[in-house]
Amino acid sequence: MKKAFFSLFSIGVIGLCFSCRQTARITENGKQIFDAKDSLVFIQVSSSRYDVLQPWKRSASQTEICYGTAVGPSEVVTIAEPFTYASVIQVKTSRSPEFIPASIKTIDYDLDLCLLKLDEKSGISLSPVTFGESFQRGLELKGQWLSSEAAVKNSRGFLDRAVVRNGPTSYQRILTFVLSSTSRQTSRGEVFTDRSGTAYGIAFSSSETEVAVIPGQTVNMFLKEAQKDTEYIGYGTPGFETFDLTDPSVRRYLKMPVEMKDGCYVSFVYSKGTGSDILKDGDVLLAIDGKAIDAFGKYKHALYEDISYEHLITLHRVGEPISFTLFRDGQKIELQTKSTRFDSSEMLVPYQEYGKQPEYFITGGYVFQKLTLDYLRLWGENWQGKVPPHLLHYYRNLSMNPPAGRKEIVVLSYVLPAEINLGYQNLGRIVVKTCNGVEIQEMSDLARALTAASDSPFHVIEFELDYPTLVIPKANLEQIDQMIFQLYGIQKASNILP
């Protein structure tokens, strides 16, 4: 998440135009009709990603487009996904034939939402849209977005259901409205409104028959904090996993009373996240903030009906109190804690590190890297079945609860062939255990061990799973490294984040 701050800029004439644009609603047969022209923007994003396998390189700049909705005279809300590696952001409005520079004010990858700030010198004043928080199954909604030619385009969908599902930019599961669509595939960032002009949410993905929408409730939560001139700290994420508790024999084993029908089983508690400080493996989660959780991990919402308990956690701003009712050791207990986040970048194998250059260290042609989800995805479609099992183990089993002291997984990724590494050139995709006798807990440990002064004529690196020990001669290593860097076009020998 990041936040930048801007001074407000106003011009009398523009202020007058803005006051006129506030009346962007007209009446028809006594009903309000929404006029979106002054509330929508076309967004063009230039991005340059780092090459995961050759992290010293960046790809050529690529352009993506998405769409945004005004939530202030110079503020626009949209989805976060297109901005993960953004370098240049430009927008068009119905009143600006030329692109206007914009920048990220706040971005929350867990909620997949981004708040943009238009360049204050543009003089553009938008008409803000109000996001509602209602839900009516079967309600017809109109999707709207502004094309690059400043024309308002439309689609149509019907509210079908509310679910909690994975978003595209985080491991976190978020509340999602699913619309049944009668139009072509929806545009990212498209806003869906009812007839009165109240926005119900922002589209983030679609198929031929359905549209996934971030609800107005989530947008309002985000804007409440994002539009402040203070640090954005976000909302809570679960610090545990559960599974259904429907088997009567398991409930008897847990000594649960026969009349106690609610509760799901806490199967795994993370090292961070909401509830991680008070829950234990084997607890039965009965309620959150007094709202009963059934055996499937859902609670009765007044509008959404059965919805996952995860939604109750994400409603809490970080630091707010939250209560858990549990069944533990044959007793019903209630515990209090505070909402916290488990940031994706804090995982042992990070889910994402958007905007950052991947960490690496190269010496003797040996390329060492930090294990990340992006690295595992190099194995392509269905990568879970192709990745070496020991690498998958760290991601699947230890990401949320790493061993004591272990902050990162360092791997020898592959070897750039050179005379110095003859006999080792087939090594790769293996986890570093020690370097020069130092246990490697993170990339910075490896860098220090390889650059520390030592009387030994060799660097000695040991790996997990009894892979061969690597011995690198130190004689003329600096000159050899420079030759390798020149041969392979490497401008920088390492990138180690503080």
pLDDT in tens, 79-129: 999 999 999 999 999 988 789 999 999 999 999 999 999 998 888 899 999
Q: What is the mean pLDDT of residues 251-272?
A: 96
Joined tokens for residue 5: 């701050």
Give the chain's mean pLDDT: 91
Measured between alpha carbons, how far is 74 from 263 in angstroms, rounded to an integer? 47
| pLDDT score of 184 | 64
| pLDDT score of 5 | 36
pLDDT grade, residue 322 (50/70/90)? very high
| pLDDT score of 7 | 37
pLDDT grade, residue 249 (50/70/90)? very high
pLDDT grade, residue 26 (50/70/90)? very low
List alpha helices for 157-213, DSSP H: none
| pLDDT score of 57 | 95
In 3D, which of 442, 437, 471 has the Cα closest to residue 454? 437
Burial class of residue 325 (count of CB atoms within 10 Å of its CB; 0-12, 13-18, 19+): buried
Q: With 60 as the cut, is the pLDDT of residue 32 above it?
A: no
User: 377's torsion region: left (phi>0), alpha (psi -120 to 50) or beta?
Assistant: alpha
Which residues face 91 on adjacent strands? 43, 100
Q: With 70 as the cut, is the pLDDT of residue 6 above it?
A: no
Query: pLDDT tens digits, residue range 305-320?
Result: 999 999 999 999 999 9
Query: pLDDT tens digits, residue range 180-238?
Result: 976 666 789 999 999 888 999 999 998 888 999 999 999 999 999 999 989 999 999 99
Cα–chain-centroid distance for residue 399?
15
Joined tokens for residue 96: 């600006």
Cα angle at 156 between 155 and 162, to 5 degrees? 125
In 3D, which of 236, 221, 230 has the Cα closest to residue 272? 236
pTM of the model: 0.88
What proportion of the chain, given as a percentage, has pLDDT over 90?
83
Q: What is the mean pLDDT of residues 386-392?
A: 96
Q: With 50 as the cut, is the pLDDT of residue 31 above it?
A: no
Q: With 60 as the cut, is the pLDDT of residue 9 above it?
A: no
Dmax (CA) for the chain in angstroms is 89
| pLDDT score of 282 | 96
Measured between alpha carbons, how far is 84 from 86 in angstroms, rounded to an integer? 6
| Inter-residue contact 298 to 292 (CB < 8 Å) | no
Measured between alpha carbons, how far is 79 from 82 in angstroms, rounded to an integer? 7
Is the alpha carbon torsion for 223, 227, 228, 229 positive or negative? Answer: positive
Query: pLDDT tens digits, residue range 399-431?
Result: 999 998 899 999 999 999 999 999 999 999 999
Query: pLDDT tens digits, residue range 323-376?
Result: 999 999 999 999 999 999 998 888 999 999 998 999 999 999 999 999 999 999
Q: Which is more confidently placed, 156 or 36?
A: 156
| Inter-residue contact 82 to 188 (CB < 8 Å) | yes
Measured between alpha carbons, how far is 66 from 83 in angstroms, rounded to an integer? 10
| pLDDT score of 27 | 42
Measured between alpha carbons, how far is 176 from 216 in angstroms, rounded to an integer? 10
pLDDT grade, residue 16 (50/70/90)? very low
| pLDDT score of 8 | 34
| pLDDT score of 95 | 85
Q: What is the mean pLDDT of residues 135-144?
A: 94
